[in-house]
Amino acid sequence: MSADRDPWLLTPGPLTTSGTVKAAMLHDWGSRDRRFIEMNSAIRRQLVELAGAAQTHVAVPVQGSGTFAVEAMIGTLVPAGGKLLILVNGAYGKRMARICHYYRRAYEACETAEDVPPDPAELKRRLGADPAITHVAAVHCETTSGILNPIREIAAVVAAAGRSLLIDAMSAFGALPIDAASVPFDALAASSNKCLEGVPGMGFVLIRRSLLEKAAGNAPSLSLDLHDQWKGFEANAQWRFTPPTHVVAAFHQALNEHAAEGGVEGRGRRYRENCRILVEGMRALGFETLLPDALQAPIIVTFRMPADPRFKFQDFYDRLSAAGYIIYPGKLTVADSFRIGCIGRLGPAEMRGAMDAIRASLREMGVESGAPARAAAE
Ligand SMILES: *Cc1c(COP(=O)(O)O)cnc(C)c1O
């Protein structure tokens, strides 16, 4: 990495942002500043529109990382007497179970392996068998592996069973389409710094208005009470507590750039192309993806660890980092692996640059093939 250039972040986040998004932060705003208030209103409007939910849902921003938004969603919407069924196939599903544990909310996990999507038929069976379940939580793209979960089928089952669906769409929203009319959900949580390409510091939850109106008093946490937060925005278009002003300004710019790129459609197209360049390039070197193409979201790709003993992940990571590309270790239990992301302000040139750096690193390490051990690939 040259001293004056930031590295390209091929990670699950925080991610590479555009120069114009960074530049949008070079001002100070008072929280009651007219321009700042207008930015907030514009952001809230744009977010519900991205999900085709302007008539039915409201966007409630919240300070913090994405997990704060997920925690606020569960705390605000699952009441003390409710029970949450969580579809788990990775770390983020497990994190929702931990949130329920902290909040002393009844929950149950419906778990599959990290490379196996949740089964809508099993979900249907569980909902039929347990009338105590009031809510279902699902992860759209489980970033642990990069797997695309069948959110449309899940939503159909939950709606047919008359339960409430909460979605963690953190690493999908803005790049993978989700339309409230065809994927009925009561709440969806995401953040500023993933596919929407803002800087980290705030999350948001899209919530069905009719449900939020009835959610007063549910939340066990004041700062993460989205009903109270929403009331604040409705009253005077302001945040209840110190707003992340610079993050908001950057997010406002990022959403305008998202629209200019062609919205969800345009952003998704660029990420799919990034993913294609990466996967084809890596396969040509012998690497294997954890997931078959049909289950792979164009967000982050998990590769199995090569069998060649000359391949040392830390050495590989350090060489790529020196060349200006940051990748990510795996955190799977099913296989030894590492991950390379396709999201953030990256295009074909950066993905090809990363492939050049990967080829050079393997050459320097004396690694002839990225093929994993046979047994691990079974
Ligand atoms: C990134 C991410 C989160 C939130 O993580 P934070 O580190 O709190 O921002 C939650 N769910 C998924 C699926 C994610 O990819």
Rounded-to-integer distance, Cα 12 and Cα 199, Å: 13
DSSP helix/strand/coil, 103: helix
Ligand 1 neighbour 139 (Cβ under 6 A) = yes
pLDDT tens across 151-181, in order?
999 999 999 999 999 999 999 999 999 999 9
> What is the DSSP track for 283-347?
HHTT--BSS-GGGB-TTEEEEEPBS-TT--HHHHHHHHHHTTEE-EE---SSS-EEEEE--SS--
pLDDT tens across 13-64, in order?
999 999 999 999 999 999 899 999 999 999 999 999 999 999 999 999 999 9
Per-residue pLDDT, 374: 77
Ligand 1 neighbour 94 (Cβ under 6 A) = no
Rounded-to-integer distance, Cα 336 and Cα 333, Å: 8
pLDDT higher than 70, residue 377: no
Between the alpha carbon of residue 306 and those of residues 87, 103, 373, the distances in Å are 31, 41, 7
Per-residue pLDDT, 99: 98
Q: How far is the CA of 179 from the centre of ligand 1 (A)?
A: 21
User: Residue 185 is encoded by which pair of tokens?
Assistant: 């959900």
pLDDT tens across 57-103, in order?
999 999 999 999 999 999 999 999 999 999 999 999 999 999 999 99
Rounded-to-integer distance, Cα 171 and Cα 144, Å: 10
Q: How far is the CA of 41 from the centre of ligand 1 (A)?
A: 24
Protein residue closest via CA to atom 12 of ligand 1: 170
pLDDT tens across 261-272, in order?
999 999 999 999
DSSP H helical ranges for the chain:
19-23, 34-50, 66-77, 91-103, 120-129, 151-160, 209-212, 226-236, 245-260, 263-284, 313-322, 348-365, 374-377
Between the alpha carbon of residue 319 and those of residues 106, 313, 316, 324, 360, the distances in Å are 47, 10, 5, 9, 9
At 375, the pLDDT band (50, 70, 90 cuts) reads low
Q: Which pTM was predicted?
A: 0.97
At 358, the pLDDT band (50, 70, 90 cuts) reads very high
Protein residue closest via CA to atom 4 of ligand 1: 66
At 376, the pLDDT band (50, 70, 90 cuts) reads very low
Q: How far is the CA of 170 from the centre of ligand 1 (A)?
A: 6
Ligand 1 neighbour 170 (Cβ under 6 A) = yes
Enumerate the β-bridge partners of residue 9: 326
Average pLDDT, the chain: 96
The residue with greater pLDDT, 374 or 136, is 136
pLDDT tens across 238-249, in order?
999 999 999 999
Per-residue pLDDT, 334: 81
DSSP helix/strand/coil, 111: strand
Q: How far is the CA of 68 from the centre of ligand 1 (A)?
A: 9
Between the alpha carbon of residue 159 and those of residues 6, 127, 203, 267, 334, the distances in Å are 45, 11, 26, 29, 32
Cβ distance 227 to 212 under 8 Å?
yes
Q: How far is the CA of 69 from the centre of ligand 1 (A)?
A: 9
At 220, the pLDDT band (50, 70, 90 cuts) reads very high
User: Residue 187 is encoded by which pair of tokens?
Assistant: 């709440």
If one residue of 9, 171, 328, 331 were mutated to test the ligand 1 pocket, choosing by the most ligand atoms within 8 A of its CB, it would be: 171
Q: For the chain, how many residues are written? A: 378
Ligand 1 neighbour 372 (Cβ under 6 A) = no
Taking the CA of residue 194 as reference, the ligand 1 atom at the shortest distance is 1
Ligand 1 neighbour 92 (Cβ under 6 A) = yes
Structural element, H or E, at residue 168: strand 164-168
CA nearest neighbour of 43 among 216, 250, 251, 191: 251
pLDDT tens across 318-342, in order?
999 999 999 998 888 888 999 999 9
CA nearest neighbour of 8 among 364, 328, 359: 328
Taking the CA of residue 203 as reference, the ligand 1 atom at the shortest distance is 9
Taking the CA of residue 92 as reference, the ligand 1 atom at the shortest distance is 11
Q: How far is the CA of 363 from the centre of ligand 1 (A)?
A: 34
255 alpha-carbon distance from chain centroid? 16
